[in-house]
Amino acid sequence: MLLEASGVNVVYQPGRGERIWAVRDVDLSLREGEFVGIVGESGCGKSTLGFALTQMLRPPAVLDSGMIAFRGTDITSLKGDELRRQRRRGFALVLQSGMNALNPVRSIERHIGDLLKAHPLPGEHWSGEAIRSRGRELMSMVELDASVLSRFPHELSGGMRQRAAIALALALEPELIVFDEPTTALDVIVQAALMDMIKGLQRSRGFTAVLISHDMSVVLDATDRTIVMYAGRIVEDRRSVDMVPDRIHHPYTEALFGCYADPRADEVVLLDIPGTPPDLSLADHDCSFAPRCTLAIDICLRERPRLCDVGGGRVACHLYPDARGEVG
């Protein structure tokens, strides 16, 4: 297993006494070379989980409890040089807007050079020419012209900036790359081209990828496995090819199916899920989706369902008998 997370809880502490449970009791394993999608509404904890998996949580978000093992090493306790060493060839995060990842007063080549020099392998020395040559390789991987190396972030379009940010993520050849809404804020044509590139890179370079998105169609199209999150918890986890309406699913997943436009359908009807997600500052002793669930039964208001094996995947819902019983 490349990465194993168990019992992960992430809390935001925005002010004195305030605690918002953004990620709750997440258990998750990533196999080598797997492409996993995490989908859910905004605020469901998917980005926060992505930050936790790559050790990028920053205050006011803190890992409250849980273990995250990368190739068997618990990375939650690593700091400073140890964490930097693990990150070299370990994991990278690509954020929504390439601009955030890029320093406006540095050229793309300078970004690449700084990164390579900050994480040298033993005996490695990065001369100007070696950096330029690696830069050219990286530009070709992300289908950008080598002339982009000498340009500054503001001189690039949104799509080009995002490609440059992906080139930076690839620079250290990480085994895991987490993409957090990589195509949001780009127009539809640019989005599609960027997703095709990400899929191609993942296949050709063989890294493990996590794609975080609110868009079910993007996730189903790109990934091998889909994880659905609601109110900080994983509510469903199964192979993306099995994520089709009318099979066994969590009621929230079923509702998400109604919210995206299947490009294969002749007629597209987009539904909204009525109601709003719960207040994450409160403990959940019940099913968090119950107020919005058309299938809720008595027990849903009394007990939180367990994530258990259902129909070849994992589902947390009282409609399936194994979900009842002791809740961890």
Tell me which of Mg ion, ligand SF4, none is bound by residue 61, counting a contact when its beta carbon lies within the kind-specific cut-off of 5 to 8 angstroms: none
Residues contributing to the site for ligand SF4 (CB under 6 A): 250-251, 287, 289-290, 293, 295-297, 300, 305, 317-319
CB 195 within 8 A of CB 119: no
Pick the closer one to ligand SF4 by CB: 207 or 289.
289
Those residues with Cβ within 8 angstroms of residue 208's Cβ, 6 or more apart along the chain or in another chain: 2, 3, 30, 31, 32, 33, 34, 35, 36, 175, 176, 177
**Which residue bears the tokens 């192979």?**
239
In Å, how far from its chain's centre is CA 247?
Answer: 25
Residue 183 interacting with Mg ion (CB under 5 A): no
Closest separation in Å from C-beta 175 to ligand SF4: 35
CB 222 within 8 A of CB 243: no
CB 159 within 8 A of CB 103: no
Q: Omega into 182 within 30° of 0, i.e. cis?
A: no
| # binding residues, Mg ion (CB under 5 A) | 1
Closest separation in Å from C-beta 290 to ligand SF4: 4
Pick the closer one to ligand SF4 by CB: 216 or 317.
317
HSE, CB side, 13 Å, CA atoms: give it for residue 23: 27
What x-and-dash track marks residues 258-297 binding Mg ion by CB under 5 A?
Answer: ----------------------------------------
Tell me which of Mg ion, ligand SF4, none is bound by residue 289, counting a contact when its beta carbon lies within the kind-specific cut-off of 5 to 8 angstroms: ligand SF4
Tell me which of ligand SF4, Mg ion, none is bound by residue 47, counting a contact when its beta carbon lies within the kind-specific cut-off of 5 to 8 angstroms: Mg ion
Between residue 27 and residue 86, which ones bind Mg ion under the rule CB under 5 A? Answer: 47
And the tokens for 318? 């009282």
Interface with Mg ion (CB under 5 A): 47
